[in-house]
Chains A and B, each alone.
Chain A
Amino acid sequence: SAVISQKPSRDICQRGTSLTIQCQVDSQVTMMFWYRQQPGQSLTLIATANQGSEATYESGFVIDKFPISRPNLTFSTLTVSNMSPEDSSIYLCSVLQGNYGYTFGSGTRLTVV
């Protein structure tokens, strides 16, 4: 299955600032996904990012707050904009490969102070 690298692994940010999270995959994949996992909670899908098209956002998530780029088949970024303490979460990148199902990165642990 694909190996996913996420950067940064963790960060502490001031409220009102933005953070861009990078997701690098070691093979080409069509479908990439961004999830949020709040402390002690389950995973919630933020958006689906397919190369060559705009990201598709789930209910409750908007592009102005979570802009996503997908410049090629191995890379994507998620930006968390104008952060508040409520944005403190783990953000995870995931890819779908037909034979292997969904694979997840190790996540980015974000703390907003």
Chain B
Amino acid sequence: IAGITQAPTSQILAAGRRMTLRCTQDMRHNAMYWYRQDLGLGLRLIHYSNTAGTTGKGEVPDGYSVSRANTDDFPLTLASAVPSQTSVYFCASSVQADQPQHFGDGTRLSIL
């Protein structure tokens, strides 16, 4: 079934550790996005990529990095995790940047 696959589904991580959240889509969408969802703050954009080979900063990029080596994959890396990065992370994609976005099932990340 076509769609967006995120991995892992959930993770508990010690502070200071490095972590990469994976996101793969098979819809050949050009644009991809990472959001975090926090109680009381809603969903906020971390980073985005309008096309393979390009990335941009969203609303809350500090402490996160992304890469877009090909169309399908858009990994999100926490270089040195901190407790404030405890959140639910959603990956999304769209055909083009101004088209509707489709979301993966999310990764629940807890930093202790």
Partners in one complex: no
Which residues of A are at the interface with B, using a C-beta cutoff of 8 A?
none
Which residues of B are at the interface with A, using a C-beta cutoff of 8 A?
none
